[in-house]
Amino acid sequence: MKFNRYLYNLIFVILLTLIFSFSFLTISFATTPYIWSNSSLETSTNTDSTDLKLESGGAILIEQTTGTVLYDHNSHEKFRPASVTKVMSLLLIMEAIDSGQLSLKDNITCSDHAASMGGSQIWLEKNESLTAEEMLKAICLNSANDCVVAMAEHIAGSEEEFVHRMNSKAKSLGMNDTTFKNCHGLDEDDHLTSSYDIALMSRELLNNHPSITNYTTIYMDSLRGGETGLVNTNKLVRNYQGCTGLKTGSTSLALFNLSASATRNDLSLIAVIMHSPSTDIRFQEAQKLLNYGFSNFTNITFGTKDDVVRKSIS
């Protein structure tokens, strides 16, 4: 009797073991094992992983103060910049003003070459003069090609020399995707840049010459005693909260470009759109980038240079 009970228990244990083993094998083969990956790390470091579904050829979003890249979409692909070229022209103009080489009240005379410019202009006549400040308004609002060439000639002696300085400045800023052939942005072979490089020069202009926003934030103005109306080509100045500029550009070959800057709650952003299929899409996608930045990032200062964190007690 004892033997039978022992044998019965032994058989029961063996059966349970077999059943458990079979079930485990069945589950193991039937269930697809989870494979760990570093996808979360890729998400945190790949700035295009959010997939904003941009239609433009190239785009970038950076934080203005530090230059941190917050979003990237083909940012090193080279395109024709059109009048966004004038960001570099404005940078050199503001350097001349802030260094004392040029005064806002200086009269700038239009040459025959400047008067011959096509595209966006205020139809300067040969030998007509405007002040540097009036020229700045025409460049920032109406993207006036005749005014930017007149300013280039006044500062550097010729447009050719001014363009040489533009390329030298680009090199010093690390704009390795850029070659300037003119100071206005009309289509010319090999006149190319990238959204990344536009962000670099836009940041340099805004950080080191913030008074440029006195002009880039104007929506409407006039010249020649009210005879010449000016309306900012950057529509974000009127309808996007915190917009500080900066510059539009378009030609039939370049399509539609934009460097847009804005500040909210101590966070300053620069969004660049290149080779957009329409003017509406460039503004929509610039707003999409800026909204993404303001919704997902904040600027926190832990301290500034020469702050005293702790004093040692001697």
Q: Residue written as tokens 């940078």?
A: 91
Across the beta sheet with 243-251, the strand order is 69-73, 58-63, 267-276, 255-264, 243-251
Cα gap 215→142, rounded to integer Å: 11
Provide DSSP, 62-88: EETTT--EEEEESTT--B--GGGGHHH
* Catalytic residue (one of 56, 75, 83, 194): 83
Distance of CA 252 to the CA centre of its chain: 22
H/E/C letters for each residue in 238-279? HHCCCEEEEEEEEECCCEEEEEEEEEECCEEEEEEEEEECCH
* Catalytic residue (one of 143, 195, 259, 276): 143
Quick check: is 143 catalytic? yes
* Catalytic residue (one of 86, 137, 169, 288): 86
Cα gap 289→64, rounded to integer Å: 14
Helix, strand, coil % over all residues of the chain, rounded to 5:
45, 20, 40
Closest C-alpha to 187, from 105, 249, 96: 249
Strand-pair partners of 72: 60
Cα gap 29→125, rounded to integer Å: 84
Angle between helices 86-98 and 159-172 (to 10 degrees): 90
Query: How many other CB atoms sit within 10 Å of the CB of residue 159?
Result: 22
Query: How many other CB atoms sit within 10 Å of the CB of residue 120?
Result: 24
Known catalytic residues are 83, 86, 143
